[in-house]
Amino acid sequence: MFRQLTAAALATLALAACEPTTVTPDEPYSTVPTGDYVLFNIGGEVLSVRHTTMQLAPTMITGRTGCNSFAAPITGTPPTIVVGEIQTSGQTCRWSNQETKFFNALRVANRITYEDGVLRIAGGPDTLTFEYGRLASAEGPIGRNLNPNSQPAQTAAASPVVSAAQ
């Protein structure tokens, strides 16, 4: 009986670790969990490459857009948000159109909501839609580096396939 209760408690803790943590209701971000998010939609357009990440805290957002890191102060109590001046690392890359749309939408944002693992930041013509969590690895989804300005990884030459019938 004790083993079953222990197993049930451990399973509950493991599942709870997957969910965003909630804060007490009197704190500003009680309805929007702070933490890591991945952008998957801008203005109704599903992104084919998901490389924009954001870390949300009660007074600051930080993240990466694939080539640039960014940071901006935020104020307001959800569902209201005011995004201050966005600081970026200023590099250009092949995703500059997507990055521009992202920053423009963030600059005019005035609403932030969270429901069922989805964070929405809205206020202008393009709503930003994020899912809660992180990219699969530091190199990006499926283990590939998404920064087009970086040097390509050196790969070992493939050895020929040997058939078992030989």
Q: What is the pLDDT of residues 3-29, one digit of tens each?
A: 554 445 544 444 444 555 444 444 666
In a domain, 154, yes or no: no
Q: Which candidate, 115, 128, 44, places its Cα nearest to that of 86?
A: 128
In a domain, 93, yes or no: yes
Number of separate domains in the chain? 1
pLDDT of residue 129: 97
Res. 125: pLDDT tops 80: yes
Which residues span the domain enclosing 34? Answer: 21-131
Q: What is the CATH number of the domain that holds 70?
A: 2.40.128.270
Report pTM: 0.67
- Identify the band that residue 139 occupies on the pLDDT scale cut at 50, 70 and 90: low
In a domain, 66, yes or no: yes
In a domain, 157, yes or no: no
As given in the structure block, the two tokens for residue 65 are 């857009």
